[in-house]
Structure formats: C-alpha cells, structure tokens
Amino acid sequence: MTLADQQIIASEVANDASEYSMTEEQVETAISALRILLGRSTVLDLLSFDTASLTRSRLISIEALENNDPRVKAARQVVHVAEAGVHLAKTSFMPNPEVGVAAIHEKQYGSPWDDRVGVTVAIPLPSDVRDVPMETDARNRLAAAVSQEQQARRNVRQELAQVLSHLTATRDIFRNSVLSADSMNSRANEMSRSWQAGETSLVELLRARSAASSALQRRNQAEVAWHVAIVRTLIAAGEFQ
C-alpha cells in the first residue's frame, strides 16, 4: 500500500470518527429532550410502532376522527348551550312578576286595628322592547358558537389530512431509501472486488463505500421518520397510549 493510500485511509477514518462523535451527541440530546417531554426516565421505542400498530388502532373515517377530537367536542358543547339559550329566550315571553309587602302599625294613630299589612303584585306585560333584544342576543351567541365549531372542524380536518399525507409520504420515502441503500451497497461490494483485482483505485473504492454509508444513513433516517409519522397518526386519532 502506497503512502498516498495510507494518508487517504487515515483521513477517512478521522472523518468517520468525527461523524460518529457528533452522532453520539445528537442521540444523547434527543434522549434527554424526550425524557423531559414525556416526564419519565424511559424512552419510547419508536421502531415498535409500525403498520401493525395502525391496524390494531381504530383508525376509521376522517369524519369520525374529526367528531372524536376534543376541540370539536368542546365547540359542539358550546353550541348546545347556545341553542338552549335561544330556546329559553323564545319561551320567556312573560316577564317575571314582582311581589311587594308593606306593613304599618296603625294603633299608634288611634286606629281600631293594631296592624295593617298590604300585598302588591305587579305583572308586567310582554314587551318587544325587552323580548326582541334578549332573543337577538341569544341568536348572536348561537351564531358565534356555530362559527367557532366550524372553525374547529376545519382546523382538525386540515391537521388530519396533513398527518395522513405525511404518513404516506414518509412510507414511500422509506421504501425508496431502502432500494437506494441496497443498490449503493451492491455497487460498493463490486468496487471492492474490482479493487482486489487491481482494476480500481483505493480512492474510487473509498468513495463508493462512503456513498453506500451515506445511503444507509438516509435509509435509517427515513425509517425513523416513518415510525414518527405513525406515532403522530396514532396521536391524531386519539389512539396513542
């Protein structure tokens, strides 16, 4: 092996060692962030969430997932309360009666009666001045509640569409990365045999090995992204435990 080849090998080893150290640091940082986020010392095994996890979950139609979302449920409850308010405003056409009681000690004025008690009852008549604004206010609250529910449904529907679309995209990217990694690894093996036969330089072999390593790294990253997309889908469907 020539001195130039030895220098090339030493350079590649140093680069790989540096990359390995950086990767270790990234792993430790990610694990620490997950522990803080989850509030527990154990870390989820992302690779355990696969297509079988999706099959076991109750992933049904977008409409059903939308109706089960807590934000939509809360908005729908506000609508129910507003509807009850409109019904109450419509049926409350008769104002509340007013009752008054008055008592006077008349004996002190020389009256033959000791005390006199009087009761007054006032029943206001229905009035558009009172009823119309009350019903209008109730209808305005209902309209606002319905608008908020529609906005909540749009937000949830958009998020679900993005999550499912991302799941499909990451799955396809992972499949393509597997094919690419296999092809680059096969090419590197062929280059290794060619180098042993003296048909290829060491530089070309190292380049092929480096390309195969990069392809494998992209494949691993794509796999992790796919499993993360599965977890996101389960969270969106309310099935993540």
Over the stretch 181-219, which tens digit does the pLDDT of each residue have? 999 999 999 999 998 888 888 888 888 988 999 899 999
Side-chain-side CA neighbours of 217 within 13 Å: the count stands at 10
User: Over 70: is that where the pLDDT of 93 sits?
Assistant: no
Q: Binning pLDDT at 50, 70 and 90, where does residue 59 land?
A: low
Residue 187 in contact with residue 200, Cβ under 8 Å? no
Distance from C-alpha of 236 to C-alpha of 59, rounded to nearest angstrom: 10
Over the stretch 158-190, which tens digit does the pLDDT of each residue have? 988 898 899 999 999 999 999 999 999 999 999
Q: Binning pLDDT at 50, 70 and 90, where does residue 34 land?
A: confident
pLDDT, residue 189, reads 94
Lowest mean per-residue pLDDT among 58-62, 169-173, 191-195, 221-225: 58-62
Across 66-76, average pLDDT: 89
Buried b (16+ CB within 10 A) or exposed e, 193-207: eebeeeebebeebbe
Over the stretch 10-27, which tens digit does the pLDDT of each residue have? 887 888 788 888 888 887
Cβ partners under 8 Å of residue 179, min gap 6:
none
- Angle at which helix 70-91 crosses helix 128-196, to 10 degrees, equals 170
